[in-house]
Amino acid sequence: MKDKIKTLPSSYREKKRYVVFEIISDQKIEFEELIKSVFNYTINLIGILGVAKTNFRFMSDLYNEKKQIFVLRCLPKDVELIRLSMALITEINEKNVCIRSLGVTGTIKSARRKYLDILKT
């Protein structure tokens, strides 16, 4: 019999929060441009060590290019720090933008249900 790889029980894993953001801009923003700008602004604000501690990740499959909505995953204690760093972004690739937080959820399923499915067109 093959041995299964043991995973940590859910009680030992770190909790996650999913923060949904909307990009307000006259021009469309590509996902790659968004990632580069967000990392640059966040590193300038909290530093490389701070970015590593927040453990934030882009949920690339939840990016809605039509409505310019994206989702970031982070630790619960760092939600406000991530919101702050997104609010300070004023320009992406020489395009004026404003990034607005739509909400915070504990699961991807609720993020889809509350913020992404409603806004589909």
Number of domains within the chain = 1
Does any domain span residue 4?
no
The whole-number average pLDDT for the span 92-100 is 93
The whole-number average pLDDT for the span 39-47 is 92
Name which residue leads in pLDDT, 2 or 39.
39
Give me the chain's average pLDDT, please. Answer: 90
Does any domain span residue 1?
no
Burial degree of 99 (CB within 10 A; 0-12, 13-18, 19+): buried
Does any domain span residue 103?
yes
pLDDT, residue 118, reads: 53
Reported pTM: 0.85
pLDDT, residue 102, reads: 94
Does any domain span residue 56?
yes
Range of 92's domain? 17-116
CATH code of 44's domain: 3.30.70.3250
Name which residue leads in pLDDT, 74 or 7.
74
